[in-house]
């Protein structure tokens, strides 16, 4: 029997998404999720099913993620639960949200990406932090404020939602972060025991404070240029940007 990577039991495994399906874009008349996924050379392939792993977890352990996934999707993709209290040029502030559920959502995505053997997540490797992330999920505990410190951003235009860019490592002042793209959002998660330095020490997800979502300019950004190359590789540039059909 296969071994569940969360509970380490010999048991039947299930088809499990690393990033919940709700964060995949819905396009076309079918209303089914479709996405462009990066490959090693910035080429792309289409997918109607998203990215899932059949060698990751059992049904019992996958159910551990369900509340986190559902809450994050309802908050970030459907605008439920939270209440916008301020919308500034650089940030949107949301009050009345669950710090515990949202923080554990990002920790669970991080754990799933690290534990997965899917090629899209090969750059995510938590090493000794992987067991710590698993323990936090197991105990339904978001951990210390600075532990897996998470920053959330959103592109200012919708086209960024049409692609899944492979997560990768970034360093700020020699402190390691993982960058994830999902549903038009960009998340930076710190995987380092050292404290972050300003400005990344500010505006991260914190208990008893409004959720600060930073705004990123999409048009003309490096992400915009990458997605255009991807769209052209599958001959659908107008899907991403109607102004670039040439």
* Residue of 105, 205, 198, 211 lying closest to 150 (CA atoms): 205
Dist. CA 184–CA 186, nearest whole Å: 7
pLDDT in tens, 55-79: 999 999 999 999 999 999 999 988 8
pLDDT in tens, 27-51: 555 544 455 555 544 444 555 556 7
Q: Is the pLDDT of residue 226 over 80?
A: no
Q: Average of pLDDT values for 159-188?
A: 85
**Of 166 and 163, which is predicted with more confidence?**
166
State yes or no: cis peptide before 193, omega within 30 of 0: no
Q: How confident is the model at residue 128 (pLDDT cuts 50, 70, 90)?
A: very high
Per-domain residue ranges for the chain?
16-53+63-240
Percent of the chain with pLDDT over 70: 75
Residue burial 206-228, b: 16+ Cβ < 10 Å; e: rest: beeebbbbbebebeeeebbeebe
């Amino acid at each position: 029997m296969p071994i569940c990577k969360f509970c380490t039991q010999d048991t039947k495994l299930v088809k499990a998404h690393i990033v919940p399906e709700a964060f995949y874009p819905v396009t076309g008349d079918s209303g089914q999720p479709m996405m462009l996924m990066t490959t090693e050379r910035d080429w792309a392939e289409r997918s109607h099913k998203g990215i899932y792993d059949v060698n990751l977890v059992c049904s019992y352990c996958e159910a551990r993620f369900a509340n986190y996934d559902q809450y994050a999707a309802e908050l970030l993709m459907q605008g439920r639960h939270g209440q916008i209290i301020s919308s500034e040029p650089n940030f949107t502030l949301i009050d009345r949200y669950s710090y515990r559920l949202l923080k554990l959502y990002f920790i669970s995505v991080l754990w799933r990406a690290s534990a997965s053997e899917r090629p899209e997540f090969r750059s995510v490797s938590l090493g000794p932090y992987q067991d710590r992330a698993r323990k936090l999920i197991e105990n339904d505990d978001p951990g210390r404020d600075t532990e897996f410190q998470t920053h959330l951003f959103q592109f200012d235009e919708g086209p960024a939602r049409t692609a899944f860019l492979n997560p990768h490592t970034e360093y700020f002042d020699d402190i390691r972060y993982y960058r994830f793209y999902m549903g038009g959002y960009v998340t930076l998660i710190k995987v380092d025991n050292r404290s972050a330095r300003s400005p990344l020490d500010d505006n991260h997800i914190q208990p008893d404070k409004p959720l600060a979502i930073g705004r990123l300019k999409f048009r003309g950004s490096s992400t915009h240029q990458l997605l255009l190359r991807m769209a052209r590789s599958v001959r659908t540039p107008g899907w991403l940007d109607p102004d670039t059909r040439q």
